[in-house]
Chains A and B, each alone.
Chain A
């Protein structure tokens, strides 16, 4: 690599590094602030006195979140949902995207299917019909109520379909000449070549499943079986001033140390950990997938 040592380019380098550092710090700042808030006394955090360093350091927010075992129970439920939903999504998205990626000559009804799929992106029946459908499947109050309704994400199907279509048609033809059937071509050729797109859609899916809390409220009837985000959401709303009525004075005293912002912050941090943990794995696929793609062209 050739390096120019002229002053002008050094200044330009310094400016670029400066801007990049600034952007990196800008991205990190809210995270650091949140961690600082989560470790601060609740009153200090509520009074907006916490910057990037905890004030009156305390683990109280974390102990409140972790107390009573409910936290880990909910955590495990969320893990199960993400795994079940992830596996289902993986297979169903591929099974739907692959045929739809074919040309109308190969798959005459493709256009109709695409319209049906896109229609569901633009219009939906609303909360009540959605709820009644799930209720009549008899899965309310089971883990399947949180897994099955999101088993096919139409948006992800379209992403993957377009990625399949971008792959060279010659691959498909060559495979067929060698006697491969559609099933074999899909799983042995298209899927391995599409890891970047698959990693992207899986990431979308896992993150949205992990973060959703509203479905837990209305599809699960017993708070004992809430997934993590619903559980945390409930804890946070209950700790707000008006809801203190549900607690005893001793618990109010404990909660007042962790009111609002610091408890919220701890919620964000703990809720983030699993996503941070899986990201490196998915990133590996990103890189490998991109390299594979580049070698084929």
Chain B
């Protein structure tokens, strides 16, 4: 669950922060690297490391260090009465352990954070610590407004923090390194969160069908669902992504996203791809045509929700909730989003399978997450940058449950935003690793094998099992159990089938932003029009010409010239 919450949080944060200027891209495709099982015994199991390994070299400062902070705000969720985001046990733990006093300069909801930051930057009133996006981080670095953290990181980052970055080859740190200097503490992205195909198991059983193994079978199963009116008169075969974000059609790790269908044809719309060592934009590549033809056909045959192009994501979820729809694409953690289906009708059962490819044996092409999305920056001239790293290590250790004394208010199930200075930091492999640990503990009936926070998940899985006849009773347990026993299982037990496409993080200069937004909306509109049959597939060629003429060529040349570090 920890990773789920964070993975979603990362999307929120990134969507709000990146605001069109940061473009995920793709470099070379390669097989999924073997999961590094060393972490399983050494890191996830709390007993193997002393607390000092997690915390690093921590001693209370002799003189109180005051840190002013600009951060995400959240409703004080999961806290006992009286505690708030700025005053709770996690905050006081940092204060007591380090003699560091945190002062909130501003707290903004993720949607408004960037606006506020732009204003305080313009006003030259930076707090000591802020969380920003990559573009802002680079601008601040070039303007000399933030500290170089290279040596501080070497000295004060705990072995635990360093191992988190190392689990993805320090790629996150590379994105925060400018001219050889580490200018920020980046978050890390968790891997293996690609979309699965979630299917109503009870419907499959009713029609004596097997879970689909190819895309043609997905279409057939959807047709069968519709023909037998399993969800009533207006049964929907496959739910779409909704229109909440212009990229939702093709986004990785996203409810309803159709990226795996594009991937089956080797098409990676909205990402930058490596075409023989040269950066190219995925949405204008020839592989798109076959994928669009397939989707257009799905839409024509009524397999894909006929109203998906005009519905919000909430509408699409509601179609599942009301028991109208049979399948959707979503990552391993998505069960919490569809728990209402089970609450409304306890007979509903979901299974997840790897989103099928063209044939049963095809390698499954999936996008890897970006290397990092949020960056903690320290104001130039702040005397104790090390205190920031130490506070982060304490938060992170407590949040991940490696410090039994750091589990406050477990009965309230606190939300992550209550830890001060916390961003998503976890092992890149954490999904299969946690799944491995949990399934081993469940098989051996031995929760002693688990880290403290995983023990909580273990208990909830057992609780959900005990209530399987009436899952609506504790629907949150059902959702959490489903994440691991269905979602994470489908990911972790099929790793060898995947072919992962590495992301490239492109930051466009401000001068190209407006143009890029225009191009994106042209792209999104054209793709939707082709899929829904308003335009012929041949309109794709016109779109490519138009895209190039309207600035696409210029931007591609910029990316090719400036993003060479990601290629090859």
Pair from one complex: yes
**How many whole Å from A275's CB to the nearest CB in chain B?**
25
A221→B416 contact, CB < 8 A: no
| A126-163 at interface with B (beta carbon < 8 Å) | 127-128, 131-132, 135, 141
Residue from A43, A68, A250 in contact with B340 in the complex, judged by beta carbons closer than 8 Å:
A43
Whether the pair A246, B476 counts as a contact (CB closer than 8 A) is: no
Q: How far apart are B138's CB and chain A's nearest CB, in angstroms? A: 20
Query: Is B476's CB under 8 angstroms from A48's CB?
Result: no
Asked if B153 is at the interface (CB within 8 A of a chain A CB), the reply is no
Considering only CB atoms, which chain A residue lies closest to B344 in the complex? Answer: A43
Q: Which residues of A contact B416 (CB under 8 A)?
A: 245-246
Known A43-B340, A47-B318, A259-B314; contact A249-B123, beta-carbon cutoff 8 A: no
**0/1 per residue, A237-259, Cβ < 8 Å to B?**
11011111111111111001001
The answer, yes or no, to whether A9 is at the interface (CB within 8 Å) is: no
Q: Does B109 lie within 8 Å of A238, measured CB to CB?
A: yes
CB of A46 within 8 A of CB of B116, answer no
CB<8 Å pairs between A and B, sample of 15:
A46-B312, A47-B321, A132-B119, A132-B123, A221-B105, A221-B107, A224-B84, A241-B313, A241-B317, A242-B12, A243-B12, A247-B78, A252-B336, A252-B479, A261-B314
Contacting residues, chain A, for B122 (C-beta < 8 A)? 128, 131-132
Contact A135 B337 (CB under 8 A): no
Asked if B315 and A135 make an inter-chain contact with CB atoms under 8 angstroms apart, the answer reads no
List the B residue with the shortest CB-CB distance to A49: B322
Chain A residues, Cβ within 8 Å of B413 = 248-250
Q: Would you give the shortest CB distance from A195 to chain B, in whole angstroms?
A: 39
A54 at the B interface (CB under 8 A): no
Q: Which chain A residues border B475 with CB–CB below 8 Å? A: 249, 253
Q: Which residues does chain A contribute within 8 Å of B104, judged by CB atoms?
A: 221-222
Q: Which listed residue (B108, B110, B337) contacts A241, Cβ 8 A?
A: B337
* New contact pairs (19) apart from A242-B8, A259-B314, CB-CB < 8 Å: A47-B319, A49-B322, A68-B76, A127-B119, A128-B118, A135-B125, A141-B106, A222-B86, A222-B104, A241-B314, A242-B12, A242-B15, A244-B337, A245-B12, A246-B75, A246-B415, A251-B415, A253-B476, A256-B339
Assess whether B77 is in contact with A247, with CB atoms less than 8 Å apart. Answer: yes
**B337 and A251 contact, CB distance less than 8 A:** no
Chain B residue at smallest Cβ distance from A234 = B109
CB-CB contacts below 8 Å: B17-75 with A: 73-75
Say whether B476 contacts A242, CB under 8 Å: no
Query: What separation, in Å, do the CA atoms of A241 and B12 have in the docked complex?
Result: 9
The answer to whether A90 has its CB under 8 Å from any CB of chain B is no
Q: How far, in angstroms, from A243 to B9 measured CA to CA in the complex?
A: 7
| Partner of B317 from A46, A132, A141, A222 at Cβ < 8 Å | A46
Provide the B76-101 mask, 1 if CB < 8 A to any CB of A, else 0: 11100000111000000000000000
| Residue A203 at the chain B interface, CB threshold 8 Å | no
Q: Is A260 an interface residue (CB 8 A)?
A: yes
B112 contacts A by Cβ under 8 Å: yes
Question: Does B11 touch A at the CB level, under 8 Å?
Answer: yes
**Quick check: B75 and A235 within 8 Å, CB to CB?**
yes
Q: Are A244 and B8 in contact (CB under 8 A)?
A: yes
Q: Judge whether B119 and A131 touch: CB under 8 Å.
A: yes
Asked if B255 is at the interface of the complex by the 8 Å CB criterion, the answer is yes
Q: A249–B119 contact, CB under 8 A?
A: no
CA gap between A141 and B70 in the complex, in Å: 14
B244 close to A (CB within 8 Å): yes
Q: Which residue of B lies closest to A47 (CB)?
A: B318
CB <8 Å contact, B74 and A43: no
Interface residues of B in 398-415 (CB under 8 A from A): 412-415
Closest B residue to A260 by beta carbon equals: B314
Contacts of A234 in B (CB 8 A): 73, 75, 109
Whole-angstrom CA separation of A241 from B77 in the bound complex: 16
User: Would B123 and A248 count as touching, CB distance under 8 A?
Assistant: no
- The dominant DSSP class at the B interface is helix
A46 and B314: CB pair below 8 A? yes
B322 in contact with A246 (CB, 8 Å): no
Output the least CB separation between B44 and chain A (Å).
Answer: 22
How would residues 208 to 244 of chain A score, 1 for a CB under 8 Å from any chain B CB and 0 otherwise?
0000000001100111100000000011011011111
Contact B119 A260 (CB under 8 A): no
Q: Does B115 contact A (CB under 8 A)?
A: yes
| Residues of B contacting A217 in the complex (Cβ-Cβ under 8 angstroms) | 108-109, 112, 115-116
Inter-subunit contact B75/A240 (CB<8 Å):
no
From A43, A141, A218, residue with most partner B Cβ within 10 Å: A43
On chain A, the residues within 8 Å of B116 by CB distance are 217-218
The 8 closest A-B pairs by CB, nearest first: A249-B476, A245-B8, A221-B106, A47-B318, A46-B318, A245-B9, A248-B413, A43-B321
- Residues of chain A with a CB closer than 8 A to B300's CB: none
* A221, A245, A247: residue with the most chain B Cβ atoms closer than 10 Å: A245
The residues of B that contact A46 with a CB separation of less than 8 Å are: 312, 314-315, 317-318, 321
Q: How far is the CA of A241 from the CA of B254 in the complex (A)?
A: 11
Q: Quick one: which of A65-80 are within 8 Å of B by CB?
A: 68, 70
Task: Determine whether B174 belongs to the interface, using a CB cutoff of 8 Å to chain A.
Answer: no
The answer, yes or no, to whether B6 is at the interface (CB within 8 Å) is yes
Residue B111 CB within 8 A of the other chain: yes
Known contacts A234-B109, A244-B337: A223-B5 contact under CB 8 Å: no
B window 284-338: CB within 8 A of A: 312-315, 317-319, 321-322, 336-337
**Complex CA distance for A238 and B85, rounded to whole angstroms:** 15
Residues on A with beta carbons closer than 8 Å to the beta carbon of B123: 128, 131-132, 135
Set of chain B residues within 8 Å of A253, measured between Cβ atoms: 339, 343, 475-476
Least CB distance, A133 to chain B, in whole angstroms: 10
**Alpha-carbon gap, A240 to B340, bound state (A):** 15
* Residues of B230-250 contacting chain A, CB below 8 A: 244
Residues of B within 8 A of A247 (CB): 75, 77-78, 415
Whole-angstrom distance between the Cβ of A170 and the nearest chain B Cβ: 52
B184 contacts A by Cβ under 8 Å? no
Nearest chain B CB to A33 CB, angstrom units: 17
- B429: CB under 8 A from chain A? no
Q: Does B376 contact A (CB under 8 A)?
A: no
Closest-by-CB residue of A relative to B321 is A43
CB closest chain-B residue, reference A46: B318
| Residues 336-350 of chain B, each 1 if its beta carbon lies under 8 Å from chain A, else 0 | 110110011000000
For residue B112, give the distance in angstroms from its CB to the closest CB of chain A.
Answer: 4
A238 contacts B8, CB within 8 Å?
no
**Which residues of chain A are within 8 angstroms of B11 by Cβ–Cβ distance?**
242, 245
Are A218 and B119 touching (Cβ within 8 A)? yes
Determine if A252 and B319 form an interchain contact, defined as CB atoms under 8 angstroms apart. Answer: no
Chain B 345-374, CB-CB to A under 8 Å as 1, else 0, gives: 000000000000000000000000000000
CB contacts (< 8 Å) of A241 on chain B: these are 244, 255, 313-314, 317, 337
Known: A218-B119, A223-B109, A253-B475. A238 touches B75 (CB 8 A): yes
Task: Provide the bound-state CA to CA distance between A222 and B76, in Å.
Answer: 12
> In the complex, what's the smallest C-beta–C-beta distance from A140 to chain B, in angstroms?
9
**How long is the Cα–Cα vector from A235 to B75 in the complex, in angstroms?**
8
Q: Give bound CA distance, A243 to B319, whole Å.
A: 20
Please indicate the chain A residues that have their CB under 8 angstroms from the CB of B109 in the complex. Answer: 217, 223, 234, 237-238
Is B417 interfacial (CB 8 A cutoff)?
A: yes
Which residue of chain A has its CB nearest to the CB of B10? A245
Q: Any chain A CB within 8 A of the CB of B480?
A: yes
